[in-house]
Chain A
Amino acid sequence: MYLVSPPILLLLVALVGGSWSAWRARAQGAAPAVRQRAQLLALLGAVSAAAGALVLLAPLNFCPFELDGDGNANRLNVMLGVFILLGGAFLAHRVVSSLVGRWLRGEALPGATETRTGLFSGPGSTLLALLCLAPTLTILTLFLYYPMFDTFQLSTQLARLGAPRTRFVCMRNFNQLLGDPDYGRTVLISFFLAAFIVMFSLAFSLLIAQMAYRPITGGRFYRALLVWPYALSPVIAGIIFELLFHNTAGVLNHVLDSTFGFKVPWLLDPTIAPWTVVVASTWNILGFCILFYIAGLQNVPNDLLEAAAIDGASAIQRFFRITFPLLSPITFFLVVTTTTYAFFDTYGLIDFLTAGGPVESTTTMMYEVFEVGVVARNLGSAAARSLLLFGIVIGVTILQFRFSRGRVMYGS
C-alpha cells in the first residue's frame, strides 16, 4: 500500500522541475535565446527531474513510500524517500539544464573543441587510445564503481557476511541508525575529533610555518626537523602515543606524578581519551600542514607586506589582513585533507591507541563500519553506515568547489 502511488509521485516531481525551469528561463537576466524557448526548457526540466527521481527510486521499488511498519518507521521512511526523490531530481535537473543552457547560449559543450595541436591521428589511433585507457577504466569499474553500486544495494538488504542469501528490507537499515542514540554518539564523536584535529593542526602549523619560512639562522635545519612525522603511519603514531600516554608505563603520567602528585587517565577515561586521540592525530598530520604552509608563505608577495608595514600596519594586522587571506587556497586545501584524515585515516591510530574505547568514546564512524561489517558480520547495516559517511565526503567536496570558486584567493 503506497502512501502516494509512484506515477503520481513522479508527476509531482516533474511539475516541480518543470516550473523551476520555466521560472529560471523567464527570470531577469536570462539570455534571450533561453527566454524564447521557455516552454521547451520547462518540458526538459520536467522530464529530467522525473527521470532523475526514477533512476534512484526504481531500484528501491519506491519502497520508502510503502506503508507497512509502525508509524515511526513510516515517517522516517517517507522522509528518506522524499530526500532521495528530491536528490535524484535535483541532480538530473542540474546536469541537463547546465548542458542545455550552454547549448542555447551558443557556448561549446565541455570537451567538444580540441584546441591542442599535434594529436595522433593515424589509422587505429582512437583504438590505441582506448586500449591505453582500458586498464584504468576496467579497474575503476570493477573495484570502485561496482563496490559503490553494491554498497547502495547492500544498504537496503538484510545481509550477513558468509550467509548466501539476502533479504530486501527497504530503508530499515537506515531507520535503525537514525533512531539509534549510540549511532548518534558515534557521529558526534567523529565530528568532534575532526573539528579539533583540523583546528589544532592548522593553527599550530601556521604558527610554526610563520616562524620557519623566513630565512632564519638554521632555517633549513628547522624545516627538515619539523615535517617528517607525516611520513609515519597513523598506526605507528598510535603505537608511540600509547607508550607516552599509558596509564602506568607512560612517561607523561610519570612526570605528572612526580612533579604534581597526580596521574591523568589519558586512555582510560571516556571524556579524556578523545582528546588524546586528537593530540596524537594532530602530531601525525602537523608536518604535512607545515610543509604546505611554508610553501604558501614563501609565495606571499613581499612588496605587499612591505607597503603595509610602511603604512603603519602592525605585524598582527599584516598577518590577518594580508598573509592569511592570501593563504586561503592552501588553508582550504589543508582543511579538506585534514578532514579526510580525521574521518578515515585515524582508523589505524585509534585501533592501536584506544581500540575505540573506553566505553566506545573514541569509536568513529569509520571504526564502527569495520566493527559492524566485519566483526559483527552485519553487511547491510555497515553499508548503510558507509553511505552516511559517503554523504559527508560529498558534502566536503561540494564545499570545496563552492569555496574554491568563490572567496578563495589564488595568489600564484
Chain B
Amino acid sequence: MEEKLGLPYAAAPVTPRRRRLPKRWYAHVILITAIIITGFPVYYAVVVATQSNTQVFNYQLTPSTYLERNWDLVIHERQLPRYMLNSVIVALVMTTGKAVLSLLAGMAFVFFRIPGKWLIFGFVLITLMMPTEVMAIALFRLVGVELQWGGYDAMIVPFIASATGSFLFRQHFASIPGELSEAAQIDGANPLQFLWYVLIPISWNAIAALFVIQFLYAWNQYLWPLMVIHETTLKPVQLGLRSLRSGTETGDSFGPLMLGAVLASIPPLVVFLALQKQFMSGFALTRDK
C-alpha cells in the first residue's frame, strides 16, 4: 500500500510546497471531525454509565462516582449477566451449528456428483431472497404457537441452517484444486475424513468469516426474541436491556441503561474488531461474480 503514497503530488511535481500546514491537512480535519461525531455518542454513554440521573440532567461530560451503584443495580438486581449468558449461548450454538451444517452442505455441493444438484443448490440459494422478517408472523405461529417453543430452541433451531454459509463454503471449496480430493481418495480417505483432515484446516479463514458475520447477527437479534421469548430468565441481552429502562426508586434510569448498553456491546465489538478482515472477506466470497 505504501507505494500509493501521495499520488496527486507525485503526478504534479511542479507544484512547490508553499504551505506550512501538513500535507492533506483537510483530510485530517475531516477524519478527526468524523471520529468525534461517531465517537461522542458512545463516549457520552460511557460517561453517563457512571452518573446518577441528577448528574445526567446537569450535563456533566466527565465520569462521576455512581458507577458502583449503577453496576450493582445492573449486575445484581436486574440480572444483566443472565441475559448476557443467554446471548452468549445462543450466539455460540447458532454460529457453530451454522458452520457445521454449511461445511457439510458446501462439501456436498462441490465434491460429489448428485442428480439435480443445481436444483438443490437453487433451492438453498433462493432462500437468500427470503428474509426471516418477512415471514416472522408465520414462523411465530409455527414455533411459538404450534410447537410451543419459548427458549433457546426457539432462538436457535429455526436459524441453524444458513444459505449464506452454504454458499460461502461452496464458493470457497470451488477454488480448491481437484487434485486435493483426488489425492485424499488415493490415500483412502472417506469424505468425512477428507472434510476433517483436509478441508477444515485450509478453511479457517472462511470459517472465521462465517463466524463473525453470524455472531453479530445472532447477538444483535431483537425482533424474533421479542416475539417468542416470554420467560424473563431466557431473554437475550438485547431484550433484557428493556428491563433497565424502568427507573429505580431513586429514579436513576439513564446510568444503569447506559451501563447495560455498554456492557452488552463489548462481546460483538471484540469479535468484530478481532475478525474485521475475515468479516470483509466473507462478503467478498458470497458476492457472486
Contact = CB atoms under 8 A, between A and B. Distances in A.
A305 B268 contact: no
Contacts of A389: 133-134
Given A239-B261, A333-B287, A348 B238 contact: yes
A231 B273 contact: yes
Contact of B34 (A162, A208, A248): A208
Most B CB within 10 A of own CB, among A147, A161, A229, A244: A147
B180 A118 contact: yes
Contacts of B288: 404
Contacts of B222: 233-235, 347-348, 351
B283 interface: yes
Consensus secondary structure, chain A interface: helix
Interface stretch (A6-14, A34-42, A138-146): A138-146
B117 interface: yes
A216 B134 contact: no
Contact of B124 (A128, A137, A215): A137
B265 A150 contact: no
A406 interface: no
Chain B interface secondary structure, helix, strand, loop or mixed? Answer: helix
A217 interface: yes
Given A125-B191, A147-B138, A208-B30, A118 B129 contact: no
A136 B108 CA distance: 11
B1 A298 contact: yes
A53 B139 CA distance: 27
Contact of A136 (B27, B101, B117): B101
Contacts of A145: 127
B140 A373 contact: yes
B175 to A, nearest CB: 11
Contact of A139 (B39, B101, B135): B101
Given A226-B35, A228-B272, A136 B178 contact: no
Interface stretch (A69-77, A270-278, A378-386): A378-386
B227 interface: yes
Given A151-B134, A214-B7, A379-B137, A226 B38 contact: yes
Most buried by A among B56, B108, B174: B108
Nearest to B143: A143
Interface stretch (A59-67, A109-117, A187-195): A109-117
B137 A240 contact: no
Interface of B: 1-8, 10-12, 22, 24, 26-28, 30-31, 34-35, 38-39, 41-42, 44-45, 48, 53, 56-57, 59, 61, 101-102, 104-105, 107-115, 117-121, 123-124, 127, 129-143, 145, 157-163, 166, 174, 178-183, 185, 190-191, 194, 216, 219-220, 222-223, 226-227, 238, 241, 254, 257-258, 261, 264-265, 268-269, 271-273, 276, 279-280, 283, 287-289
